[in-house]
Chain A
Amino acid sequence: AQSVTQPDIHITVSEGASLELRCNYSYGATPYLFWYVQSPGQGLQLLLKYFSGDTLVQGIKGFEAEFKRSQSSFNLRKPSVHWSDAAEYFCAVGAGTGNQFYFGTGTSLTVIP
């Protein structure tokens, strides 16, 4: 069965510092991987996705993620965090021919001045 683990429940970073949010997935075949962001009172917004090809994918708002099959990971990174990046971040995996997304429990990001 598919599953997603986000080991970090909460992360605090200083504005301007780099950021890495971890995501590990469990799926037998090549997964479809996603990162979503949820700001308070908002729905989820897609940051980026990986289907195939180049394992380093670029997304919106300066985010990128790297797919590492050997580690079953899809970590999200940003070189310099802005205060507006404070939000909840969810990693999700979709199974090949299915229509269901499996989400992790999320990582809450706090940005301090």
Chain B
Amino acid sequence: ETGVTQSPTHLIKTRGQQVTLRCSSQSGHNTVSWYQQALGQGPQFIFQYYREEENGRGNFPPRFSGLQFPNYSSELNVNALELDDSALYLCASSLVGKVTGELFFGEGSRLTVL
């Protein structure tokens, strides 16, 4: 069974740039959620994708966008990067989109914005 994999593991960008983070869900999981974890904070829900459509969104601006592909993998895109976007971005896959479904997390992509 393949777990959740994320790429890249680390990256550095400058303000105003755009970034794309990638996530491969665990085998058999059709739902992907993205969370932002700032330093010293708990993860915050960005959005969830189910059947290639956004299925819920947290309190993040539209410059955070995503995609889910037919193989259930997903991308998180952030435009016009700001310093406060520096964080660990966690992808989690699940078999069920509801909170009753266990989340399986990847190791994250650490983004530094200079």
Q: Does A51 contact B (CB under 8 A)?
A: yes
**Are B45 and A101 in contact, CB atoms less than 8 angstroms apart?**
yes
Considering only residues 35-68 of chain A, those with a C-beta below 8 Å from chain B are: 36, 41-46, 49, 51
Pick from A4, A41, A90, A98: contact of B99, CB below 8 A.
Answer: A98
Q: A41-B107, A45-B105, A99-B97 are in contact. List 15 more A-B contacts (CB 8 A).
A: A36-B105, A43-B107, A43-B108, A44-B90, A46-B103, A51-B100, A94-B99, A94-B100, A97-B98, A99-B33, A99-B98, A100-B58, A100-B99, A102-B45, A105-B42
Taking beta carbons and an 8 Å cutoff, which residues of A are in contact with B?
4, 32, 36, 41-46, 49, 51, 90, 92, 94-106
Taking beta carbons and an 8 Å cutoff, which residues of B are in contact with A?
4, 31, 33, 35, 40-45, 48, 55-56, 58, 90, 92, 97-100, 102-103, 105-108
**Are A105 and B105 in contact, CB atoms less than 8 angstroms apart?**
no
The CA-CA distance from A106 to B40 in the complex, in Å, is 8
In the complex, the chain B residue whose C-beta lies closest to that of A46 is B102
**Are A43 and B44 in contact, CB atoms less than 8 angstroms apart?**
no
Q: Which residues of chain B come closer than 8 Å to A49, judged between CB atoms?
A: 102
**Are A95 and B99 in contact, CB atoms less than 8 angstroms apart?**
yes
